[in-house]
A and B are shown apart, each in its own frame.
Chain A
Amino acid sequence: MDAVEKANADRQKRWAKDQKIGEGTYAVVYRGRELATGRKVAIKKIKVGQFKDGLDMSAIREVKYLRELKHQNVIELLDVFSSKKNLNLVLEFLDTDLELVIRDRSLVFLPADIKSWMAMTFRGLEFCHRNFILHRDLKPNNLLIAANGHLKLADFGLARDFADPGYKMTCQVITRWYRPPELLFGCRYYSTAVDIWSVGCIFAELMLRIPYLPGESDMDQLKTIFRALGTPTEEDWPGHTKLPDYVPVGQFQKTPFRDLFSAASPECLNLLSKCLIYEPRRRISAREALYHPYFTSHPHPTHPSKLPKPADKTSATLPLEELDGNAEPNGNGPGVKANPPNKLKRKLSSDELSGGGRSIARKLDFTQQRQTVQ
């Protein structure tokens, strides 16, 4: 036991923890750096104490799968160590995420930009699927963007490997707006196609700049999907009426993609429609998607370093609200836009200095039991 503790201490010494930058349901994220090189990292401290039966499931999943995956478009887990009662994951530090980019109205996307992000998403996802890992929580704010513009899949808290035959999987995964219909119908046996649906939704969101299928509840989500893509027939999707939670939600006509995405190229719509096919087996796979003509047609994907990025908030000088207390409560610095309200999910964004992010963190401190920070 002593040797293990010593090894752990050695590891711990390599990293320094700086200020807190975000807090999620089961973890606190700190900005940190590698002492030897000064390289910026994010340290995710898993709260262990509050779970009776050991570690939180998502922490285990995250460690389990990130240890195996190393790819340009997947977040890198650099190290794992424990401090006192907590488990710490040392992750690559990434500046921002795709959601912030989409919400930032001051940014203009070119078709080539969208193509570049999609290519990187599919590359990362293909790598996961190739290694038999389902991500199961793809959405814009889990697609983090590095300083050099590279997009990386992150948050493997819901990931799992492919099930053995006859082994049930839970259908309560994937954020609702990005959840495929087979999961909404309670299907317990599914495959990589669930991630592709999410990517399709993200693809549409990149073009629309608003969520494509924003359902208000699980029921409403199905309605929203059918309203957009038409109610599936037995021909479109054989066997879907036999799924455990199947309920008829009414007949809707498909709205042609062309009407909604009027500026998109034909290849682009073709790929989008293949990502959003009802029958999971016919849905395009990540690998097929990479060979889709959309990616090879003109224009070329934008070079990652040229992709639009939200303005750097950390360097903007703080407004003088701390001098007199009567500044508006949500006083972000001038030029700072689109700070998504109460995102409780972990986010490695650089908004630690903006008032919005901080007030949320403070609020949460009261509800969560305090951990000893060392």
Chain B
Amino acid sequence: MSRPPSGNWLRGTVIRKGGSSVGNTRTSTPQIQSTSSTVFGGGVKDASGRVSEYSSMDDTCPVCKSDRYLNPKLRLLVSACYHKMCESCIDRLFTLGPAPCPICGKILRKLAFTPQTFEDLGVEKEVAIRRRIAKEFNKRREDFADLHSYNDYLEMVEDITFNLINDIDIPDTEARIAAYRRENAALIELNVQREEQYQKYLKEQEEAERQEREQIALELRRLEEEEREERAKERREIIDKLETSDKDAAKLVARSRADALRRAHARSSSSTVANARLQRSRTAQSAVVADVPHVPLQDDWYTYEDKFVLRDDYDDPASEAVRRDRDGIMRAGGYRVEEAWERALRSAVAGLEIMPLQGLSNEDSAHPNG
């Protein structure tokens, strides 16, 4: 895996970026590290989405032999062929474009270096490969007719993964993957979408929980506040009573205390009941009913054809005022005489299709002053 580094990487033909430290000499401080540290993405993310980077005190760049003692800001990154080297080496070697890996000779690019997450690079490699495989081999149990075929599929996935990790028959394995991808393109896409949806669902769930927690916290704070006020009031009360009445002081104090206790009890019990109910109703509802798409008109009024056509103009003496409205007062108010015409016409024809009633109901007794 790791050949001893050959000498040709030390040829002085590469142009150094300004400020990048060579590392085998103690340059004067401050050292400017790589200018490209932000470019290196990738790596294994933890649950919170951060990339935790592995580094140890005995890190040594296998290429330039610089170590933490010489360069406290040493940062090792991992190449696509799983060889480590320090940022300054990467800058030096790959700034001018793809170049061979100084250790194994594979052609590498600068952007393909990733931060190291695990101490053992074998693990690093396996994680990356498994991740890549999982992206495409994402069939689920539901996609298979029986458990047996599902197990066969899992077996095959594991075979492919093993081959890739241990560099066995790489071209052959890659061909298998490509064939699988061709055959199952639609299903892969579908499963990706399913997965996305599930992620979204999880996120929503999380958000809802967070809001609930906030609400509860708010409620608690409020209650605390109330209680504090209550106590302060109570103290004032006792003092007031002691001042004004001539009864036994001890008795008065005892009675006030008892009152306060009862009040506090009632308060806490009622608020917890209300709280619990609120939460229950919100969560219970959100699980059951789905949101409904909007339907513009939810009744069948417009399914009937109008039995009339509105003309542009009518010989209507009543609307003279509107027509004579030179200043546009009616227009500025949004009044339209066409609406009045439409109303008149609609009222006139609306009942045409309705059959006459058989016998009169006594609906007209609703008139209040009758």
Contact = CB atoms under 8 A, between A and B. Distances in A.
A139 interface: no
B333 interface: yes
A306 B287 CA distance: 10
B332 A237 contact: yes
Given A8-B365, A162-B340, A190 B271 contact: no
Main SS class of interface, B: helix
B49 interface: no
Contacts of A303: 289-292
Contact of B277 (A243, A279, A311): A311
A77 to B, nearest CB: 10
A130 B297 CA distance: 11
Contacts of A311: 274, 277-278
B223 interface: yes
A239 B331 contact: yes
Nearest to B344: A164
A108 B211 contact: yes
B291 A335 contact: no
B56 interface: no
A301 B274 CA distance: 27
Given A189-B330, A190-B333, A319 B263 contact: yes
Given A166-B318, A301-B294, A324-B259, A190 B334 contact: yes
A166 B292 contact: no
B223 to A, nearest CB: 7
Interface residues of A, number: 79
Nearest to A246: B332
Main SS class of interface, A: loop
A5 to B, nearest CB: 9
A334 interface: yes
A31 interface: no
B329 A187 contact: yes
Contact of B266 (A72, A279, A317): A317
Interface string B286-300: 100111111011110
A316 interface: yes
A301 B292 contact: yes
Nearest to B291: A300
Nearest to B293: A300
Nearest to A122: B296
A36 interface: no
Contact of A300 (B292, B321, B330, B362): B292
A334 B223 contact: yes
A306 B366 contact: no
Contacts of A54: 369
Interface in B282-313: 282, 285-286, 289-294, 296-299, 301
B46 interface: no
Contacts of B365: 3-4, 7-8, 11
Nearest to A312: B277
Given A191-B335, A305-B289, A239 B270 contact: no
Interface string B212-227: 0001001100010010
B333 A182 contact: yes
A189 B270 CA distance: 54
Interface stretch (A18-26, A152-160, A288-296): A288-296
Given A7-B362, A335-B275, A320 B266 contact: yes
Contacts of B290: 303
Nearest to B274: A335
A281 interface: yes
B368 A87 contact: yes
B329 A162 contact: no
Contacts of B218: 106
Given A239-B327, A323-B259, 17 more contacts: A54-B369, A55-B369, A72-B298, A108-B215, A130-B301, A164-B318, A182-B333, A182-B334, A238-B332, A283-B334, A290-B296, A315-B273, A316-B274, A319-B267, A320-B263, A333-B270, A335-B270
The 7 closest A-B pairs by CB, nearest first: A280-B334, A239-B328, A239-B332, A187-B333, A166-B321, A165-B319, A189-B335
Interface of B: 211, 215, 218-219, 223, 226, 237, 259, 262-263, 266-267, 269-271, 273-275, 277-278, 282, 285-286, 289-294, 296-299, 301, 316, 318-322, 327-337, 339-340, 343, 362, 365-366, 368-370
